[in-house]
Amino acid sequence: MSSNTTNISLSHGAGWAAFTAWFGRAFEAYVARRSRTDRIQALEALSDKELSALGIRRDQIVQYVFRDLYWS
């Protein structure tokens, strides 16, 4: 017969802190992405004339909304 011993800690120390930090970052990324999606939809709802007044072509909407990520 054999016996196995493990050192498994059931405390919520550093592992829990790392998980909550990760979850917080993931949630912030989701919120940022969601707000950009809303902006894309709002721009797509505009007419070509309205987009032209903003200096945007319809095929440039996504690049316009994410321009801070492309050229930062």
Assigned domain for 1 exists:
no
Residue with tokens 């493990």: 6
Number of domains in the chain: 1
Q: How confident is the model at residue 31 (pLDDT cuts 50, 70, 90)?
A: confident
- pLDDT for 12 equals 60
For 49-69, what is the mean pLDDT?
A: 92
DSSP code for 60: G
Assigned domain for 7 exists:
no
Which range of residues forms the domain containing residue 35? 14-70
Assigned domain for 45 exists:
yes
What percent of the chain is predicted at pLDDT more than 70? 79
For 10-19, what is the mean pLDDT?
A: 75
Answer yes or no: pTM beyond 0.85.
no
Assigned domain for 3 exists:
no
* Each residue's pLDDT tens digit, 32-56: 778 888 899 999 999 999 999 999 9
Assigned domain for 42 exists:
yes
